[in-house]
Amino acid sequence: MLVRVLLQLTVVVAVMTAVSTAAVVGRDRLSKTRREYRDRLKSAAPITGILAISLLFNSVAREIVPDLSWMIGWEVTEAFYNIEGGFVLWVQSYATPVATTYFSFVYIYGYVFLLVFPVVAYFALSDTRPLRELLTAYTLNYTLGLLCYVLVIAYGPRNMIPELAEALLYDTYPQYQHLTRQVNRNTNVFPSLHTSLSATVAMFAYRTRDVYPKWMLAAIFLAVSVAVSTMYLAIHWTIDVLAGLVLAYVSITLAERFVGRWSASDLIEEWPLVKRFAERWESLRR
Amino acid sequence: MDRESTLENGGVSRRTLLAGAATGLTVATSGCVRQVRSVVNRDTVDHLSVSIATVPADGDRESVQIANLLADNLETVGIDASVNLLAEEEFLRAILVNHDFDLYVGRHPGGTDPDFLYETLHSVYADEPGWQNPFGFTSMTFDDLLERQRVLEGDRRRDVIERIADSVAAEQPFVPVCVPDENRLVREDRFDDWDDHLATRLGYLGLEPLDGDGELRGIITDVRPTQNLNPLSVEYRNRGTIVNFVYDSLGTVAGDEVRPWLASSWEWNGSAATVTIRDDVQWHDGEPLTAADVRFTYRLLEDTSLGDSDVPAPSPRYRGQSSIVDSNAIEVHDERTLTIPMTGSQNVRERAFTVPILPKHVWTERTGGATVPGLPVEQATTTAVVAENVPPIGSGPFQFVDRTGRESILLERFDEHFSRADDELPEATVERFRVAVHPGSPSAIEAIESGSADVTISTLEAYSVDEVTESESVRLLESSSQMFYHVGFNVRNAPFSNPYFRRVVARLLDKERIVDELFGGHASPVATPLAGEWVPDDLEWDGDDPSVPFFGADGQLDESAARTAFEEAGFRYDDDGKLLARY
């Protein structure tokens, strides 16, 4: 079941990315990329490595986070419900079969596409800084998000008020729960990483609007859809979505600073061990 | 002189005046302060605020809905109520081990014989962890009745049980809400003969494979068995269906009776049973299973520290069963026979045969106290009750092969199991038994309908039952149920210690509507925890609860009636309409 869902996801996102690349990135940038990809890869390699490590760490940590947070975490489900009352219910009051299909699609496919495509699009730019910043911001989103998950135990609306907030996604398309439970636990709702990562992408798209004007519009539209979908599908509270926006902002601001401050070449100069490693790597490649 | 005298007079009079004033002031203030003391030292009475513990909708959608309904109605009658969601194992730990709750909504494992009320309500268990008396209910009258039903037989026992049922209905130490229908989905194109109860091991034995494939694919909707396979762990077990595949018990429940299983027979000599274990039985690791293992098991259930700990550490599960056995007087005659002295009538005594027999050579090492360096641990916590027990070494028809956390468990047939050699007994007909975890019933139903699984071991959640499309090869099986939804009170604390208060709270629950709306009719409302033939006539459901009828009608709470009832029970409301209580 999981394999089928994953395959479907891969195919759909690959198609979406290919079409968007053709439409947004354009032939010129792609052919230039073919010539420059080595250098770009090299400059993006350190942060890609860090992101990969943090994702690996995340997948391991996910196993222990629930145990840890039930020992030290702060239970806030009831508080969230009391604070925001029925906002999610209000969103759900506009439920139609078409909207459910749309938001379910956006929550699964739209979201993954939103994360994958800018990596491709920014890789196609000679200036690797947006790419490096984006990957740094992803890393920060995941890492800070995980920290919040340890400290805060919260169940989403579908778990707290099932009689009011329908679990639209999982009741309509139960197969997707096989996928989402691989990457998340039902106590990890604060903040909404769907929202924070989508907002991160949208904010980057806004910054790079001169290069990719069409992408900005698409990204903002998709990011808003993803944020709404998390509430529409009763997976997140509004508070989680707002916290997601804050996390996105924090991640981008920090990413900007980090990328400016520590470039890989400085690192190589300053750390003899790293330098030696880099030299050996160079000699091996030749 | 005059002047002097005047002065003197004045002086005297001033002194007199001062003295008089001082005395007067003292008298006056002392009265005043005493009154202030009387006022100030009376504690203020607070608004009553309660927390209802329950589990999130994933896995059990109805509990949290009942909790929300109850919370709404409590708010309506002036009691602040909040619903506290806890992960299943955390929930069970909070209510059963730590007794840290006001109210909870959950599923009770119930029992076929009414003797399960013994451990559920006897005072002696008020402080123990486990399903034995989590409420902290204590009553001498009750204890007496519970003890008497154990020893009586026939109609005399029935009378006592009727009295117990009536008293439970009157006192409401917990509110039984409804018995959910036990629905499971099976595929009949690969295996036939799904006729034993699928919550028991027999349900999965003696299946007739219709095609050559030797794998049975079951589905559970609970991740806990992939994390912990300890039969004594109360937080990780509901009814222990999965661990019962791996462990054997002396007798096995078949319908209403207990049939010999690991024991080939037992003979009663008074209230002592002389048990003969089947020939040549082995543990999954190849060690022989002997009468010493059986004695060890009963002693371990009685005290998991085997007397080593300063405080006895009884097992949180199988407590009722082990209390029937006098474990210290068990006599082992040889490798295969032993005499087990017990108390109670025969029906009650046979319950003791249903506990899983544990290997002495594995569990002796677990009698020590569990420790976490640097952290205080509750004294009566032995490794035996907190061990994950993976891999489990049992003697049962299936042996453990592998597990993937939160995803699946793989079992394979234990070829040396006694049922393979005995034609009278149902045996494992499949070579492998794969148990996969699904996130919920809708996904489990889809898997069965699409042919990627054969049986849902977990029961289908009520909301999903109507989604089932039965076909030639897919069948919905309904089995008898002993489990029930209930609202538990922590009667250790005021105001839940007051039965009148509990009765009024019970009357805030519209069980009929809960069954109709939350369970879509796939449950039966109940007024008593007893089931079937044991339900007394006056506690049969007749459209409303005969003992604690709902305040109101058609789901509409009659607020003033409920408030009046609280006032009649001696509680008061403040000007804002909030209930006041000392707690």
Provide ipTM, 2 decimals: 0.86
Name the average pLDDT for chain B: 91
The CATH number of B46-180+482-581 is: 3.40.190.10
- Residue that the structure tokens 């880099």 belong to: A278
Kind and range of the H or E element at A190? none
Kind and range of the H or E element at A153? strand A152-153
Residue contact A174–B440, C-beta within 8 A: yes
Q: What is the predicted pLDDT for the residue at B316?
A: 93
Residue contact B85–A162, C-beta within 8 A: no
Task: Tell me the helices (H) and strands (E) count for chain A, helix number first.
Answer: 15, 2
Domain boundaries along the sequence of chain B: 46-180+482-581, 183-221+397-480, 250-386
Query: How far is the alpha carbon of B328 from chain A, nearest alpha carbon, in Å?
Result: 38
Tell whether A8 is within 8 A of chain B (Cβ): no
Q: What is the predicted pLDDT for the residue at B32?
A: 85
State how far the Cα of A138 lies from the Cα of A201, in Å rounded to an integer.
9
Q: What is the predicted pLDDT for the residue at B312?
A: 86
Instruction: State mean pLDDT over B262-278.
Output: 95
Maximum Cα interatomic distance, chain A, rounded to a whole number of Å: 65
Q: What is the predicted pLDDT for the residue at B226?
A: 95
Model confidence pLDDT, tens digit, residues B100-139: 999 999 999 998 889 999 999 999 999 999 999 999 999 9
Model confidence pLDDT, tens digit, residues B31-51: 788 888 888 888 888 899 999
Residue B8 has pLDDT above 80, yes or no: no
Q: Angle B397-B401-B403 (CA atoms, 0-180°, nearest 5)?
A: 120
Chain A residues whose CB is inside 8 A of the B97 CB are: none
**Quick one: chain A helix, strand, coil %, rounded to 5?**
80, 0, 15
Give percent above pLDDT 70 in chain B: 95
Distance of CA A177 to the CA centre of its chain: 18
Model confidence pLDDT, tens digit, residues B320-358: 999 999 999 999 999 999 999 999 998 899 999 999 999
- Which of A70, A78, A160 is facing B90, going by the closest CB pair? A70
Residue contact A174–B68, C-beta within 8 A: no
Structure tokens at B84: 């506290």
Residue B566 has pLDDT above 60, yes or no: yes
* CA-to-CA dists, residue B192 to A168, A188, B204, B475, angstroms: 35, 42, 11, 11
Q: What is the predicted pLDDT for the residue at B6?
A: 43
Model confidence pLDDT, tens digit, residues B46-71: 899 999 999 999 878 999 999 999 99
Q: What residue numbers bound the domain in which A257 lies?
A: 2-285
Tell whether A186 is within 8 A of chain B (Cβ): yes
Residue contact A78–B84, C-beta within 8 A: yes
Q: What is the predicted pLDDT for the residue at A124?
A: 93
Contact A137, A200 (CB under 8 A): yes
Q: What is the DSSP string of B200-219?
A: SGGGGSS-EESSS--EEEEE
Q: What is the predicted pLDDT for the residue at A264?
A: 55
- Which of A82, A162, A177 is facing B61, going by the closest CB pair? A162
Chain A residues whose CB is inside 8 A of the B406 CB are: 181
B250-386 folds as Dipeptide-binding Protein; domain 1 (3.90.76)
Q: Which of A69, A153, A163 to probe by mutation at the B interface, max B CB count within 10 Å?
A: A163
- Which of A1, A78, A177 is facing B82, going by the closest CB pair? A78
Chain B residues whose CB is inside 8 A of the A174 CB are: 439-440, 442-443, 446
State how far the Cα of A5 lies from the Cα of A221, in Å rounded to an integer.
25
State how far the Cα of B573 lies from the Cα of B577, in Å rounded to an integer.
5
State how far the Cα of A66 lies from the Cα of A68, in Å rounded to an integer.
5
Maximum Cα interatomic distance, chain B, rounded to a whole number of Å: 137
Q: Angle B55-B59-B65 (CA atoms, 0-180°, nearest 5)?
A: 50
Distance of CA A39 to the CA centre of its chain: 26
Q: What is the predicted pLDDT for the residue at B2?
A: 44
Chain B residues whose CB is inside 8 A of the A165 CB are: none
Chain A residues whose CB is inside 8 A of the B82 CB are: 78, 82
Tell whether A167 is within 8 A of chain B (Cβ): yes
Classify strands B556-557 and B552-553 as parallel, antiparallel or unpaired: antiparallel
Model confidence pLDDT, tens digit, residues B152-208: 999 999 999 999 999 999 999 999 999 999 999 999 999 999 989 999 999 999 999
Q: What is the predicted pLDDT for the residue at B10?
A: 46
Residue contact A161–B90, C-beta within 8 A: no
Classify strands B579-581 and B523-525 as parallel, antiparallel or unpaired: unpaired
Residue contact B56–A161, C-beta within 8 A: no
Q: What is the predicted pLDDT for the residue at B214?
A: 86
Model confidence pLDDT, tens digit, residues B413-456: 999 999 999 989 999 999 999 999 998 899 999 999 999 999 99
Query: How far is the alpha carbon of A54 from chain B, nearest alpha carbon, in Å?
Result: 22
Residue contact B57–A75, C-beta within 8 A: no
State how far the Cα of B453 lies from the Cα of B436, in Å rounded to an integer.
9
Listed in sequence order, the residues at least 6 apart from B13 whose beta carbon sits closer than 8 Å to its beta carbon are none
B183-221+397-480 folds as D-Maltodextrin-Binding Protein; domain 2 (3.40.190)
Q: Angle A187-A190-A191 (CA atoms, 0-180°, nearest 5)?
A: 140
Instruction: Give the end-to-end CA distance of chain A in Å, rounded to a whole number.
Output: 45
- Residue that the structure tokens 């008298």 belong to: B27
Work out the pLDDT band at B25, boundaries 50, 70, 90: low
- Which of A1, A78, A162 is facing B57, going by the closest CB pair? A162
Residue contact B85–A161, C-beta within 8 A: no
Q: What is the predicted pLDDT for the residue at A262?
A: 60
Instruction: Tell me the pLDDT of chain A (286 aa) as tens digits.
Output: 788 889 999 999 999 999 999 999 988 899 899 898 888 998 889 899 999 999 999 888 888 888 899 999 899 999 999 999 889 999 999 989 999 999 999 999 999 999 999 999 999 998 999 999 999 999 999 999 999 999 999 999 999 998 888 888 888 888 888 888 777 788 889 999 999 999 999 999 999 999 999 999 999 999 999 999 999 999 999 999 999 999 999 999 999 998 876 655 565 566 666 677 777 777 766 5
How many domains does chain A fold into? 1
- Residue that the structure tokens 């990719």 belong to: A212
Classify strands B103-108 and B49-54 as parallel, antiparallel or unpaired: parallel
Model confidence pLDDT, tens digit, residues B545-558: 999 999 988 879 99
Residue contact A186–B56, C-beta within 8 A: yes
Q: What is the predicted pLDDT for the residue at B9?
A: 47
Work out the pLDDT band at B3, boundaries 50, 70, 90: very low
Work out the pLDDT band at B494, boundaries 50, 70, 90: confident
Tell me which chain B residue has its CA closest to the CA of residue A172. Answer: B442
